Amino acid sequence: SKGHLVMKSFSLVPQGDKSLLLINAGMAPLKPYFTGAEIPPRTRVATCQKCIRTGDIENVGKTARHGTFFEMLGNFSFGDYFKHEAIAWSWEFLTKVVGLDPERLYPSVYLEDDEAFEIWNKEVGIPAERIFRFGKEDNFWEHGAGPCGPCSEIYYDRGEKYGCGKPDCTVGCECDRYMEVWNNVFTQFENDGNGNYETLQNKNIDTGMGLERLAVVVQDVDSIFDVDTICSLRNLVCEVAGKEYGKDYQTDVSIRLITDHIRSATFMISDGIMPTNEGRGYVLRRLIRRAARHGRLLGIEGTFLAKLSAEVIQGSKDGYPELEEKKEFIFKVLTNEENQFNKT
């Protein structure tokens, strides 16, 4: 309704960007449009981008919200609309389209960004005490070299039952109560990779909203592993392992880890990545081997990853037809790697 061109997800393999091993955000494949190096097909674009982030891989399975694979929804402006529209539309989308309770939503702004604060306060009507100011670590978006800028996030209060119970628990707490669902990035700078910032010719908008996180909030479930679409995969892991979910912590960690890693591995192979000993191939090898090892911990005999991969493909092929097209190849790569690892 705001005139965006909806583009297909780009490959997980970055094109012409040596600063990233894998696409890790909706904006990552769009960097040339932000810098002006390429002309976008329209100045307003929206995508649902497949993404992989492995920085927190050791936490996967252990928490409610960590995963290496996610789908990032985003709307982007390349020198078109800026702060006023982006903030108003993010609020409109979350409260009117998705229908989240405005009383449970809390915006945050970058420490020095009085302009964004005023927009939230005066234009959207959020009382000052409900708007949080955070520093560079939380409210300045940059991943690798390239376009970046201050951001304004929107947190959803999932309620006390998800909280840590500490008296000072509030927006920004590390616990699972306040979940960040939306990020408005005001992309104004370009980082040359050495911490030097140049002002971009255009002011741009980059937004990010994790589909899995949004689903957690809308479906009011415990974790990303309880979202309906991911839950069917999790249930298949349980079936293959002959285990029940929710009975034993260590078993649950393995179930969640396999559920996450098989999603990443399936999508990576469909984009042409092969398990190798370096670069993104090593990331894939590590994901497959970690999933296989946790399968052993659950007592699964023989190879099992291709069977799980079939479920990933079934659930995501409408949005990502390349999964169905490469199905047999994906199964073969997974099973070969599993067999090789089993021998080792």
For ligand GLY, the binding residues (CB under 6 A) are 25-27, 72, 141, 183, 185, 206, 208
User: Shortest gap between Cβ of 216 and ligand GLY (angstroms)?
Assistant: 16
Residue nearest to ligand GLY (CB): 208
Our CB check for ligand GLY shows the closer of 25 and 171 to be 25
User: Shortest gap between Cβ of 183 and ligand GLY (angstroms)?
Assistant: 3
Token duo for residue 93: 């989308």
Our CB check for ligand GLY shows the closer of 184 and 254 to be 184
- Helices 327-343 and 305-316, axial angle in degrees (round to 10): 150
Candidates 244, 243, 284, 239; CA nearest to 262 is 284
Our CB check for ligand GLY shows the closer of 210 and 275 to be 210
Output the DSSP codes for 151-185: EEEEEEE--GGGS---TT--TT-SSSSEEEEEEEE
Our CB check for ligand GLY shows the closer of 25 and 233 to be 25
Our CB check for ligand GLY shows the closer of 25 and 119 to be 25
Our CB check for ligand GLY shows the closer of 54 and 303 to be 54
User: Shortest gap between Cβ of 141 and ligand GLY (angstroms)?
Assistant: 5
User: Shortest gap between Cβ of 69 and ligand GLY (angstroms)?
Assistant: 14
User: Shortest gap between Cβ of 343 and ligand GLY (angstroms)?
Assistant: 40
With tokens 């909030």, the residue in question is 217
Token duo for residue 226: 């309880």
Amino acid at 249: Y
Q: Is 223 helix (H, G, I), strand (E, B) or coil?
A: coil
User: Shortest gap between Cβ of 185 and ligand GLY (angstroms)?
Assistant: 5
User: Shortest gap between Cβ of 26 and ligand GLY (angstroms)?
Assistant: 6
Pairing of the two strands 146-157 and 197-210: unpaired
Our CB check for ligand GLY shows the closer of 72 and 291 to be 72
Burial 243-254 (b: 16+ CB within 10 A, else e): bebeeeeebbbb
Q: Are 95 and 102 in contact (CB under 8 A)?
A: yes
Amino acid at 328: E
Pairing of the two strands 105-110 and 132-134: parallel
